Amino acid sequence: MQRLNGIAAAAGLAMGKAVRLIEFNLPLPSQTATEPKAEKERLQTALEQANAQLQALAEQVATRVGASEAQVFEAQRMFLSDPALMRKAEEHLSTGAEAGYAWYSACEFYAHQLESLEDETLRARAADVRDVAQRMLLALHGNAPRQTFEEGSILLARDLTPSQTATLDTTKVLAFCTAEGGPTSHTAILAKALGLPAVVGLGEAILEIEDGSLLLVDGTQGEVIAAPDEETRQAFLGRQQAMHAQRNAAMARAHEPAITQDGKRIHVMANIGNLDEIKNALQHGAEGVGLLRTEFLFLGRETPPQEEDQFKVYTNILTQFAGHPVIARTLDVGGDKFIPYLHLPKETNPYLGYRAIRISLNEPEAFKTQLRALLRAARLGKLRMMLPMVATLEEMRATKALLEEARQELSARGASFNPYMPVGMMVEVPAAALLAERFAQEVHFFSIGTNDLTQYTFAAERGNPRLAYLNDPCHPAILRLIERVTDAGRLADIWVGVCGEMAGDPEAIPLLLGLGVTELSMSPSLIPAAKEVVRTWRLEDARALAQEALRLSSAEEVRQAVRQAQPKTFN
């Protein structure tokens, strides 16, 4: 038995037989051909074929994974119709080159150009150009061996490129395991598109496993076990069946409330960033919107949206969530989000820069437009507003002064609105968590944004793969900040929710319950499983676990403690 650890790239469990991907290097086509005109025609036919393959791939990825993941395949399609690339290829054709050689040489020319650029993301595009070259060679010399698989195969490869999938029969493959690649590699995207578990970055060892060996692939934990003993195999089978049953049960009970074993109701809500996500949220049992990112109303326009436009959108969302609360976060731009009409300068440290409430308070007219729209919509349903990135009490009070002005403006023109709309704040700046008991006197609720809170507490940007170890909100340092906020909430008798990724993490949920969080808001697809986790716990046990976790010294220790304390019904 051999255990290999890699990176979890696509969740799920699979058991099957190892099959090594046959890697073939296409022979570089001969340089010369006799008839340039015939070669041009071959090239055209191959371009059409490659284009159709990429289009199908892009559509599949867009439906099963997401439109943004499909973009890379759309970009590859654009290379196929690139006039400059075609001109280069034609130059080679006119000197008597064979079609494949002409295309390959043209692609190499641009791949080299891209590689010489300073920007890392642009340099990475060279691989895409080369992959298009490979795809075209396959189309032109279509005698590449098409590897066939038996039912229940687990594919082992160094890495998978989109062009390799052109010759892969994936219908009988249960999982992918690769030596290289990261969580955002093509392999990960393709696996998710196909709904298969995948573990990547397993190193050379995975390529040394003999064909036909029995493999257990855990795409959730990022582990692969080769030639397991009977006990391990049985345990894995048990987990697989339990996971299956669990998923079905969660979905079946998605619309029921999440109540702990000892009777505490936890509100499980959806994070939403545009109107298209509403349907999905309702289907997964969302009990309202815990975080409505209002940026979608403001992005991609030349002028700010009018009060009336905003009012209509808020009303529409309230109607669709009939009777459930909707928490609208006021405009949160800056950082990674950019709005042209605000003329924001480029900053060296955008996450520590001019953003969110800092901008709103400096643009009072635009801010009041949003406040008026919210106040009016709040008359028609359970609308609450919350403020992003609050760091000081002065910011909170300045906002309240503007809110009062907005109320007076509405009264003056005789508009109907709800003057008592609850006002809460996001706790995502450590300063706000540290002064939570003071803020609690000013607001109706707290919603902890654990992504930013973690990033700011560890002084480590979220997207940086080298700093991933500083990105776990289960770290005791973050738990202690959360505890300060929930303690402050309890004393002031206001509720505390969490709307960061932590809220949907099954291992983090008992900790949050134990600390006194009563509302969890997350991506819609995570809701059914999160409700199930709540249902397995007794609040009393969760409290004991949270108290223990607060005294530990690393995120890993905390997660270990959660796993050990897990109620038996939860696998």
Partner 1 sequence: MPVQSILVTNEAGLHARPAAEFVKEANRHTASIQVRNLTTGSAWADAKSILSVLTLGVERGHEIEISTQGEGEVEALEALLHLLRTNFDGRL
Question: Smallest distance from the beta carbon of 448 to partner 1, in angstroms?
Answer: 27
The residue from 25, 37, 83, 414 that contacts partner 1 (CB under 8 A) is 83
Residue 135 CB partners (closer than 8 Å, separation 6+): 50, 53, 54, 76, 162, 163, 166
The residue from 94, 113, 221, 362 that contacts partner 1 (CB under 8 A) is 113
Q: Does 435 bind partner 1 (CB under 8 A)?
A: no
| 58 versus 533: smaller Cβ distance to partner 1 | 58
Bridge partners of residue 25, in order along the sequence: none
| 499 tagged catalytic | yes
What are the residue ranges of helices labelled H in 265-347?
277-283, 307-320
Stretch that binds partner 1, among 72-80, 172-180, 213-221, 414-422 (CB under 8 A): 72-80
Stretch that binds partner 1, among 48-56, 114-122, 161-169, 562-570 (CB under 8 A): 114-122
Determine which one of 186, 267, 324, 475 is catalytic: 186
DSSP string, 279-296: HHHHHTT--SEEEEEGGG
Q: Which residue, 415, 416, 420, 383, is CA-closest to 404?
A: 420
CA distance 163 to 142: 13
DSSP string, 398-421: HHHHHHHHHHHHHHHTT----TT-
Q: Does 118 bind partner 1 (CB under 8 A)?
A: yes
| 113 versus 441: smaller Cβ distance to partner 1 | 113
Q: What is the DSSP letter of 462?
A: T
Region 214-233 residues binding partner 1, contact defined as CB under 8 A: none
Q: Does 468 bind partner 1 (CB under 8 A)?
A: no
The residue from 210, 230, 231, 302 that contacts partner 1 (CB under 8 A) is 302
Strands 223-226 and 2-5: antiparallel
Q: Does 78 bind partner 1 (CB under 8 A)?
A: yes
Question: Smallest distance from the beta carbon of 340 to partner 1, in angstroms?
Answer: 4
| 24 versus 341: smaller Cβ distance to partner 1 | 341
| Residue with tokens 């600390």, as numbered in its chain | 515
DSSP percent split of the chain into helix, strand, coil, nearest 5: 50, 15, 35
Question: Smallest distance from the beta carbon of 354 to partner 1, in angstroms?
Answer: 15
CA 39 to chain CA centroid, Å, is 45
Token pair of 403, please? 């809110």
Q: Does 336 bind partner 1 (CB under 8 A)?
A: yes
Stretch that binds partner 1, among 150-158, 337-345, 385-393, 520-528 (CB under 8 A): 337-345
Q: Does 114 bind partner 1 (CB under 8 A)?
A: yes
CA distance 78 to 95: 26
Q: Does 73 bind partner 1 (CB under 8 A)?
A: no
Q: Which residue, 341, 338, 340, 336, is CA-closest to 352?
A: 336
Q: Does 411 bind partner 1 (CB under 8 A)?
A: no
CA atoms within 13 A on the CB side of 132: 29
Stretch that binds partner 1, among 20-28, 73-81, 94-102, 264-272 (CB under 8 A): 73-81
Q: Does 269 bind partner 1 (CB under 8 A)?
A: no
The residue from 182, 340, 419, 463 that contacts partner 1 (CB under 8 A) is 340
Region 344-363 residues binding partner 1, contact defined as CB under 8 A: 346
Residue 445 CB partners (closer than 8 Å, separation 6+): 384, 386, 422, 424, 489, 494, 495, 496, 497
| 110 versus 445: smaller Cβ distance to partner 1 | 110
Strand ranges in 115-263 using DSSP code E only, listed in sequence order: 153-157, 173-178, 198-200, 214-218, 223-226, 258-259
| 112 tagged catalytic | no
| 50 versus 527: smaller Cβ distance to partner 1 | 50
Q: Does 274 bind partner 1 (CB under 8 A)?
A: no
CA distance 287 to 391: 29
CA distance 416 to 298: 24
| 172 versus 312: smaller Cβ distance to partner 1 | 312
Q: Which residue, 387, 519, 517, is CA-closest to 442?
A: 387
**Count of positions on this chain that bind partner 1 (CB under 8 A):** 28
Handedness of CA 545, 551, 554, 555 (dihedral sign): positive
Q: Does 75 bind partner 1 (CB under 8 A)?
A: yes
Stretch that binds partner 1, among 39-47, 95-103, 253-261, 334-342 (CB under 8 A): 334-342
The residue from 300, 465, 564, 568 that contacts partner 1 (CB under 8 A) is 300
Stretch that binds partner 1, among 249-257, 299-307, 363-371, 507-515 (CB under 8 A): 299-307
CA distance 102 to 91: 8
The residue from 79, 176, 417, 439 that contacts partner 1 (CB under 8 A) is 79
Nearest 5°: the CA angle 404, 365, 432 is: 65
Q: Does 74 bind partner 1 (CB under 8 A)?
A: yes
Q: Does 129 bind partner 1 (CB under 8 A)?
A: yes
Q: Which residues bind partner 1 (CB under 8 A)?
A: 71, 74-75, 78-79, 82-85, 110, 113-114, 117-119, 121-122, 125, 129, 299-302, 336, 338-340, 346
Q: Which residues are catalytic?
A: 186, 499
